[in-house]
């Protein structure tokens, strides 16, 4: 056990899954006697959990490594995550990096830190096909919600995506083991859980169970009041899941569904497992069962072969879609993916223009959704973050509300009436008894 109160700092890039894993790694350090500090402070160990979805993510990682080295040149710098699995030697060559861990070793970071006694950079890489264990994780520290990792890896191999090479095949713990983690979260007084993973609808493939099995059991966990399903593939969002959620008091009317393109031609090039007809049917099914559901959609612009005409197909599809928000990504070519050899690369100027068009559409859709909900009664889970004497929270259908700060409301669920859309873009409220 360490007794000299060494300090550790963390920086997480990328998805909610990374945040759940960073939080779990951080708890391991604290259990071994480390004090956790902010990343902009001097620390003895800096841990950077990386993303590699885009070239920008890679660049950001390199910048963060340099920042850590500047904060304390004597500190140990450990890099884990997707970038370190895909390009370990590239990271190891960056000045100041001491340890680089691939997918098989990242959750064993504390052991590697304590055993690292030289000035040499250690690289613990692996063939991604060797990764077959599931490492449980969930986030703590935010009093109101926790990201619970329920699945890892992906077997889809979409033509643009490096995730299967970075995280390996689809795998998960059993339903029973996952429920134990949810109960642990509940014991810490956290009201809301967000289910996260790489392809959560694929849950159960490695244990002979199903995502629906997990949903039904999570609904029974005492202490957790609200559960959100994070990004889930449209072909895996089944009628039985939707019908169950529509009747559940815990699962919230909030869905995040990756579309990626509103053009069937582009979807085929992407090697997605659905077409626009199936996607439209999923949206219609949600709205028929839960009319006030919030639906967020992922979309990629600038994919190779996306002509002006095919972008117009996506734009028109999204205009007609009954969605609430667009998460817009600009296509970024990744090494070793099928798209590297594809023709029809889209100029950066066209990408910028298309991105701006979809961001504008997203803002209009979000504000329209907010306005549709004015004068309705909702429940809000209030957060603890304070800004200019304001506090914030989200309704069950993911409307962000804003009100005067009141510490007694933090981590509480209150019934409210949505009153108006504020200049900030958030929604005002009236409290109900």
Q: What does the pLDDT look like over 40-94, one tens digit per residue?
A: 999 999 999 999 888 888 889 999 999 999 999 999 999 999 999 999 999 999 9
Overall average pLDDT of the 293-321 stretch: 98
* End position of a domain, from candidates 232, 252, 272: 252
Question: Of 77, 99, 126, which residue sits at a domain end?
Answer: 126
Cα 8 from chain centroid (whole Å): 24
Q: Where are the beta strands (DSSP E) in 302-405?
A: 325-330, 377-387, 390-395, 400-404
Residue with tokens 């909900």: 373
Q: What is the DSSP string of 130-195?
A: G------EE--S-SSEEEEE--B--S---TT--HHHHH-S-B---HHHHHHHHHHHHHTT--EEEE
Mean per-residue pLDDT, 227-234: 97
* CATH assignment of the domain containing 403: 2.40.50
Q: Are residues 168 and 235 in the same domain?
A: yes
pLDDT at 319 over 60: yes
Instruction: Tell which phi-psi region holds residue 291, choosing left (phi > 0), alpha (psi between -120 and 50) or beta.
Output: alpha
- Please compute the mean of the pLDDT values over residues 383-387 and round it to a whole number: 89
CB 84 within 8 A of CB 50: yes
Mean pLDDT (whole number) for 401-423: 96
The Cβ of residue 364 has, within 10 Å, a number of other Cβ atoms equal to 11
* Residues 178 and 211 reside in one and the same domain: yes
Residue bearing tokens 């509103």: 262
| 112 & 161 share domain | no
Residues 136, 93 share a domain? no
1 pLDDT more than 50: no
- Return the pLDDT at 432: 84
Q: Do 108 and 152 share a domain, yes or no? A: no
Is the pLDDT at 325 greater than 50? The verdict is: yes
CB atoms within 10 A of CB 223: 13
Structure confidence at residue 221 as a pLDDT band (50, 70, 90) = very high
| Statement: residue 219 has pLDDT above 60 | yes
Q: What is the mean pLDDT of residues 405-409?
A: 94
- Cβ contacts of residue 184 below 8 Å, gap of 6+? 138
CB-CB contact of 167 with 82 (8 Å): yes
Count CB-CB contacts under 10 A for residue 94: 16
Residue 247 within a domain = yes
Any alpha helices (H) in 321-394, and if so which ranges? Answer: 348-372
- Asked if residue 239 and residue 223 are part of one domain, the reply reads yes
User: Does the pLDDT of residue 321 top 80, yes or no?
Assistant: yes
Answer whether residue 168 shows pLDDT above 80.
yes
Q: How far apart are CA 52 and CA 294, in angstroms?
A: 28
* SS3 call for 427: strand
Q: Tokens 């993303």: give the residue.
A: 51
The C-alpha atoms of residue 237 and residue 242 are separated, in whole angstroms, by: 7
Residue 48's pLDDT is 97
397 burial via Cβ count (<10 Å: 0-12, 13-18, 19+): buried
Q: What's the pTM?
A: 0.93
User: What are the pLDDT digits (tens) for 84-107?
Assistant: 999 999 999 999 999 999 999 999
> Lowest-confidence range among 56-70, 218-232, 271-285?
56-70
Query: What CATH number is given to the structural domain containing 33?
Result: 3.40.50.12160
> Considering the chain, what percentage of its residues have pLDDT values greater than 70?
99
For residue 15, tell me if it sits in a domain: yes
Number of domains in the chain: 3
**What pLDDT does 119 receive?**
84
Helix (H) or strand (E) holding 83: helix 82-86
pLDDT at 2 > cutoff 60: no
Asked if 86 and 150 sit in the same domain, the reply is no
Look up residue 213 and give its two tokens.
């099995």
174-203 pLDDT, tens digit each: 999 999 999 999 999 999 999 999 999 999
In a domain, 309, yes or no: no
Which of 235, 252, 269 lies at the terminal end of a domain, its last residue?
Answer: 252
**Residues 83 and 122 reside in one and the same domain:** yes
Tokens of 141: 């520290």
β-strands 35-37, 45-50 pairing: unpaired
Q: What are phi and psi of 415, to 5 degrees?
A: -80, 130
- 331 part of a folded domain: no
Residue 231 lies in a domain: yes
Residue 284 lies in a domain: no
Q: Reply yes or no on whether the pLDDT at 3 is more than 60.
A: no
In a domain, 316, yes or no: no
pLDDT of residue 125: 83
Report whether 292 contacts 333 (CB < 8 A): no
Check residue 81 and give left, alpha or beta (phi > 0: left; psi -120 to 50: alpha). Answer: left
Q: What is the pLDDT of residue 5?
A: 84
Shared domain for 237 and 186, answered yes or no, is: yes
Residues 211 and 139 in one domain: yes
In a domain, 416, yes or no: yes
Q: Which domain holds residue 227?
A: 129-252
Place of tokens 């370990």: 88
Same-domain pairing of 101 and 15 = yes
Residues 78 and 105 in one domain: yes
pLDDT attached to residue 203 = 98
Kindly state the tokens that stand for 327: 């998460």
pLDDT, tens only, 344-380? 999 999 999 999 999 999 999 999 999 999 999 999 9
Long-range contacts of the stretch 64-69 (C-beta < 8 A, 24+): 64/11, 64/13, 65/91, 65/94, 65/96, 65/97, 66/94, 66/95, 66/96, 67/39, 68/9, 68/11, 68/39, 68/96, 69/95, 69/96
Q: Residue 222 has what pLDDT? A: 96
Confidence grade of residue 217 (pLDDT, cut at 50, 70, 90): very high
Cα separation, 363 vs 368, in Å, equals 9
Q: Which CATH number does the domain housing residue 213 bear? A: 3.30.750.210
Q: Check: CB of residue 299 under 8 Å from CB of residue 329.
A: yes
Of all residues in the chain, the percent with pLDDT exceeding 90 is: 90
Distance of CA 366 to the CA centre of its chain: 20
């Amino acid at each position: 056990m360490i007794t000299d109160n060494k300090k550790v700092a963390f920086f997480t890039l990328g998805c909610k899954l990374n945040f759940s894993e960073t939080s779990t790694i951080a708890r391991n350090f604290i259990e071994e006697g480390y004090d956790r500090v902010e990343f902009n402070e001097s620390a003895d160990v800096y841990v950077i959990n990386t993303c590699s979805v885009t070239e920008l993510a890679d660049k950001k990682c390199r910048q963060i490594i340099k920042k850590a080295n500047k904060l304390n040149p004597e500190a140990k710098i450990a890099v884990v995550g997707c970038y370190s699995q895909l390009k370990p030697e590239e990271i190891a060559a960056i000045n100041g990096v001491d340890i680089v861990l691939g997918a098989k070793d990242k959750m064993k970071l504390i052991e590697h830190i304590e055993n690292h006694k030289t000035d040499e950079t250690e690289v613990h890489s692996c063939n991604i096909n060797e990764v077959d264990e599931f490492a449980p994780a969930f986030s703590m520290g935010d009093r109101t919600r926790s990201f619970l990792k329920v699945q890892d890896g992906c077997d889809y191999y979409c033509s643009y995506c490096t995730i299967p090479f970075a995280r390996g095949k689809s795998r998960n713990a059993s339903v029973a083991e996952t429920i134990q983690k949810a109960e642990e979260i509940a014991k810490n007084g956290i009201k809301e859980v967000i289910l996260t993973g790489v392809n959560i609808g694929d849950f159960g493939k490695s244990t002979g169970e199903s995502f629906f099995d997990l949903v039904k059991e999570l609904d029974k966990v005492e202490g957790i009041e609200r559960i959100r399903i994070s990004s889930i593939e449209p072909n895996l969002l089944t009628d039985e899941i939707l019908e169950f959620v529509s009747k559940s008091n815990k699962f919230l009317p909030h869905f995040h569904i990756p579309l990626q393109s509103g053009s069937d031609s582009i979807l085929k090039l992407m090697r997605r497992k659905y077409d626009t007809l199936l996607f439209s049917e999923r949206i219609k099914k949600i709205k028929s069962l839960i009319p006030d559901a919030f639906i967020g959609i992922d979309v990629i612009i600038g994919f190779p072969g996306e002509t002006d005409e095919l972008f117009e197909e996506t734009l028109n599809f999204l205009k007609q879609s009954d969605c609430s928000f667009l998460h817009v990504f600009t296509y970024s070519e990744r090494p070793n993916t099928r798209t590297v050899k594809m023709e029809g690369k889209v100029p950066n100027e066209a990408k910028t223009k298309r991105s701006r068009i979809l961001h504008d559409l997203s803002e209009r859709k979000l504000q329209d959704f907010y306005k549709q909900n004015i004068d309705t009664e909702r429940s809000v889970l209030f957060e603890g973050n304070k800004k200019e004497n304001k506090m914030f929270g989200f309704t069950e259908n993911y409307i962000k509300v804003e009100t005067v700060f009141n510490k007694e409301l933090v981590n509480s669920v209150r019934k409210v009436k949505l009153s108006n859309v504020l200049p900030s873009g958030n929604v005002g409220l009236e409290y109900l008894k």
